[in-house]
Chains A and B, each alone.
Chain A
Amino acid sequence: MTLSSQGIKRILTGDSALPWLAPLLAMLVVFTIYPLIYNIWLSFHEYAPFRRRLEPVGTDNWQALFSDERFWDSLSVTFTYFGVVLIIQVVLGMAIALLLDSEQKGFGVLRALLTLTLVIPPAITGMMFLLIEDPEFGVLTWLLESLGILDGTQPILATGSTALMGVMLADIWQWTPFMVLIFLAGLRSLPPEPYEAAMLDGASSWQTFRRITLPLMGKVIAVAVLIRGIDLFRIFDYMFVMTSGGPGTSTYTLSLYAWQQTFSFIKWGYGATISLVSLILILVIANLFIWVARVRW
């Protein structure tokens, strides 16, 4: 069956949106709806190693979640990572954006330099920070030791209390510029009038920021938080290359735990169940945020 160009023309001539959307619909159904249904089916099955096949197990996988301490640990690591990194990136991003919001010569180059971190594959960023935080010859380790913050007996990424911070650092380095660029664009599109009025009234710069800039930037901040928040909640790459979740469960996120259950421990059904939990949480939280913050596309 071949569609002649005449045929394509005839289909696309009418004012129906369907032919225009058909390729998109087909791809989304095959690659998101079908896997989703398959995943749900998988979560009610488990691989039986001796019989080498999937067998139905009812709701066992879902019930197992409640008594699985590693699952609850990974849930708490995911939320901690999400919350801490998001707050740091918003605050730091805003501070740097305010700093760079100037017409001075040379600042265009500075902004361009900040975009560079965005194109590095996160897995390679992870490797970069693995070297920087290396216990023997890492630059950061050396710096912190000469400042007396670390005493040389605790490798950053192999110590339970600091491993997560070590991973967060890679994320903060790579994605704070994301916030800076978005906030900068927001700051530059603000109307000048309120600022002139504030200056006449003798408002301090903190007051101006608190009462004028922040409220006017509401939408911009909401969009940035939404997009970054989604990525933070499903974080995987950094942990996979830097710590594999360890030491203990200190850097296990939901995504990493689900992946390892499926592919390292051959618990296909259980891994699928955990990935579904993460899917449900992210859809609920993100859509709730869109509704509350009235983000519109």
Chain B
Amino acid sequence: MIVESQARRMTRTLAAYMVVALFVFPLYFWATTAFKNAKDIFNTPPTVWVFEPTLRNFEEVFGISLGFFRQQEVLPGGGNFFMAPRLWDSIVVALGSTLLSVIVATLAGYSLSRMDFRFRHLFVGWVLSTRMMPPVAVAIPMFFIYKDIGLLDTYTGIILIHAVMNLPLAVLLLKSFFDDIPRDIDECAMIDGASRWIIFRRIVLPMARGGVAATAVLCFIFSWTEFIFVLTLTQTGLKTVPVVSSSFVTSTGTAWGNMAALGVAATAPAFLFILLVQKQLVRGLTLGSLKE
């Protein structure tokens, strides 16, 4: 575009690296905390670069060698740090709700992209409006409704509410991916005698593979990181990682090392996922409204 001078280029590079370093620093600090001893965590001034690495925090949280025998151990101060089951809860909830939202949203997204019917714009507006509802205004009544029908503290209950939470995103995003595929393809196939279902199943869905995958990744991440619904709608039966992180705050102090170990183990897979969908990320974050 515009040719930059050598000096300007250098300044820009330097500034860019510094800004990104500033954003990466808290991640670095958190990740290293997971490998630190209490001595290094509770040091003033804080230990940033040089410390004695340890795997103790991970072992206490996931019990790779000991956990099988000490699952319910309660540590001094009242905390139970064995978190492997919580990781499992998170995985079940995120996978289940992602599957449900993606299935429901592909059907809806296809019809919103291809079929004309009255009030279509109003319908899309309504779907978008559900994305605006404050979670607390859904969580409060849902608590009482779930209590009455026995869905409190169950996988089914959390999977359903997470799926609904992700539906507006999934529907609007998939609609935008289907919009990218020319309608002519549908019409040609229809002239050849194919039904809507066959067109959807055999032609359009395979063409939108990448979009479906990107949608699934985003649904997974939003379910994985969700806080208020799990906080409100579970008691003891299941807890996902974000909610359980506060249990490291005990009466004898906060177990920062263990908390960081859980945080690292719980975000590392999400990092990999998001790197896979870099290309569709902006479209996803804007609910399909902006294309890169």
Contacts and interface: CB of A to CB of B under 8 A. Distances in A.
B267 A142 contact: no
B77 to A, nearest CB: 17
B15 A122 contact: no
B128 A297 contact: yes
A259 B229 CA distance: 11
Contact of B16 (A99, A185, A255, A275): A99
B154 to A, nearest CB: 15
Given A121-B227, A137-B44, A182-B286, A263 B12 contact: no
Contact of A258 (B129, B140, B145, B263): B140
A278 B134 CA distance: 7
B250 interface: no
A38 B104 contact: no
B289 A297 contact: yes
26 contacts: A17-B115, A21-B112, A23-B108, A34-B145, A100-B16, A110-B16, A116-B274, A118-B274, A121-B266, A124-B245, A136-B42, A139-B29, A142-B46, A146-B45, A181-B282, A185-B282, A186-B290, A188-B292, A192-B1, A199-B2, A236-B228, A272-B141, A278-B137, A282-B133, A297-B124, A297-B288
A104 to B, nearest CB: 6
Interface residues on B, range: 35 or more
A281 to B, nearest CB: 9
Interface stretch (A7-15, A61-69, A157-165): A7-15
Contact of A173 (B23, B126, B139, B246): B23
A297 B287 contact: yes
A20 interface: yes
Interface residues of A, number: 101
Interface in B1-46: 1-2, 9, 12-13, 15-17, 19-20, 23-24, 26-27, 29-30, 33, 41-46
B111 interface: yes
Contact of A137 (B16, B41, B139, B248): B41
Contacts of B26: 128-129, 132, 173
